[in-house]
A = this chain, B = another copy of it.
């Protein structure tokens, strides 16, 4: 298995094409990261205006999603990349699916602030910790993508187990509110759905981490155990 060797192509244009795609992915990732951070800030402050901004940023994310896929198809067709370059292209086209859906999840959170009432916002504030946690995972996995750093990618992958515990804790907490006051059920159910969205953001960061390992190592690691994954970076 050879390592990625970006920037070593005889064709300068090819290098530029690959760099451009990588930069666009990072740009898309940056937008999604900001969407998620803003959604969490909107929740904590009950800031409806900020929440509206998160919703409207989604168009830019969608446009980049399409644009990157078009670039990848063109590069494959024109440059006929092999080995690590090809893996980069295939990984990028999968990574942007997850990024786009993380953006959707942020939008969904933001919409709850736009539409929800004060008592629901009080409950949503309880999600801040878990939200910051998955934001950090997203930040780190984008960093791992930028630096082709599989140690960081595997660390993000490992981190998701903690997010799952936070999910379970919040789920249990929300259940008790419903049991104590059945009238709160519809409201709390929406909050539970937001908790699930955050949990799935963690899963998506895990997916991206797996694609990064594939890019760098040439090994598809989607269905291997955590231990096997750890062994790859030892």
* CB of A171 to closest CB in B, whole Å: 8
* CB of A203 to closest CB in B, whole Å: 10
Q: A171 to chain B: which residues have CB within 8 Å?
A: 189
Query: A94 is contacted by which of B62, B76, B93 (Cβ under 8 Å)?
Result: B93
A182 close to chain B: CB less than 8 A: yes
- B66 near A87: Cβ-Cβ < 8 Å: no
* CB of A114 to closest CB in B, whole Å: 20
Closest to A80 in B: B80
- B93 near A90: Cβ-Cβ < 8 Å: yes
* CB of A17 to closest CB in B, whole Å: 16
Interface 9-residue window, one of A18-26, A67-75, A121-129: A67-75
Interface flags for A191-234 (1: CB within 8 Å of B; 0: not) read 01100100000000000000000000000101100000000000
Please report which residues of chain A, range 56-94, place their CB below 8 angstroms from some CB of chain B when the two chains form the complex: 62-63, 65-66, 69-70, 72-73, 76-77, 80, 82-83, 86-87, 90, 93-94
Q: A66 to chain B: which residues have CB within 8 Å?
A: 220, 222-223
Main secondary structure of the interface of A (DSSP, over half): helix
- What total of chain A residues lie within 8 Å of the partner, measured CB to CB? 35
Query: A86 is contacted by which of B76, B87, B196, B222 (Cβ under 8 Å)?
Result: B76
Q: A48 to chain B: which residues have CB within 8 Å?
A: none
- B73 near A90: Cβ-Cβ < 8 Å: yes
A185 close to chain B: CB less than 8 A: yes
Interface flags for A9-23 (1: CB within 8 Å of B; 0: not) read 000000000000000
Q: A70 to chain B: which residues have CB within 8 Å?
A: 220
CA–CA, A51 to B80, complex, Å? 45
Please report which residues of chain A, range 176-192, place their CB below 8 angstroms from some CB of chain B when the two chains form the complex: 178-179, 182-183, 185-186, 189, 192
A37 close to chain B: CB less than 8 A: no
CA–CA, A100 to B65, complex, Å? 22
CA–CA, A63 to B220, complex, Å? 11
Query: A185 is contacted by which of B65, B83, B179, B222 (Cβ under 8 Å)?
Result: B179
- B93 near A73: Cβ-Cβ < 8 Å: no
Query: A72 is contacted by which of B90, B175, B193 (Cβ under 8 Å)?
Result: B90
